[in-house]
Amino acid sequence: MIADFYNYWVAIILMMIGFYIVISDANLIKKMIGITIFQTSVFILFISMSKVEGGTAPILIDEVTLYSNPLPHVLILTAIVVGVATTALGLAIIARIYREYGTVDENIIHAKDEEEYEDSDEDLS
């Protein structure tokens, strides 16, 4: 029963690993890694469901009649491009955060923001 659906288990396990990293780790770069694993697990989910048993890769040749479904491959190609753009943008923002704050640790960034807030309070009073 479990072995029959092993592709879904792989996708779900990867998804949870990625999700856990995003939630638990304070390092912004590691969060990006988590997001990437999370997205990739969904790509695997799509690709594995397009597999037709006994079917070959969806390339038109004369002697073959049974193909895997090509549509999810195409969809995921688009989703991969979106994923790459997200990762690139995320890393670019992290690079600027590092330049402004001197750290990529979320907790330290929050602490610095709090300090700034208290300072500005004193300014007003």
Partner 1 sequence: MLSQHLLVLQVVVPLLSAPLCALLPLASPGKYFSNKLAWLIATVASLISFVISILLAIEVSKHGYISYELGGWTPPWGIEYRIDHLSAYVLLIVSGIASITMLAAQKSIEKEIAHEKISLFYSAFLLCLTGLLGIVATGDAFNIFVFLEISSLSSYVLIALGNNRKALTASYQYLIMGTIGATFILIGVGLLYMLTGTLNLVDLQQKIPELLDSRALHAAFAFFTVGISLKLALLPLHLWLPNAYAYAPSMITVFLSATATKVSLYVLFRFFFGLFSNEVTFGEFHLDKILLPLSILAILIASAVAIFQDNIKRMFAYSSVAQIGYMTLGIGLATKSGSVAGMLHLFNHAIIKGGIFLAMACIVIRTNSVQLSNFAGLGKRMPWTMAALLLLGLGLIGVPFTAGFISKWYLLIAALDQRSWLAAAVIVGGSLLAIIYVWKVIEYAYLKTSSKTIDSDTASTKEAPLQMLIPLWLLVAASIYFGFETSFSFGFANTAINALFK
Task: Identify the residue among 13, 16, 93, 108 touching partner 1 (CB under 8 A).
Answer: 93
| Ramachandran area for residue 105 (φ above 0: left; ψ -120 to 50: alpha; else beta) | beta
100 is a site residue for partner 1 (CB under 8 A): yes
x/- mask, partner 1, residues 62-91, rule CB under 8 A, reads: ---------xx--x--xx--x--xx--xx-
Task: Identify the residue among 14, 21, 37, 109 touching partner 1 (CB under 8 A).
Answer: 109
31 is a site residue for partner 1 (CB under 8 A): yes
The nearer residue to partner 1, 57 or 89, going by C-beta atoms, is 89
SS3 string, 5-52, reads HHHHHHHHHHHHHHHHHHHHCCEHHHHHHHHHHHHHHHHHHHHHHCCC
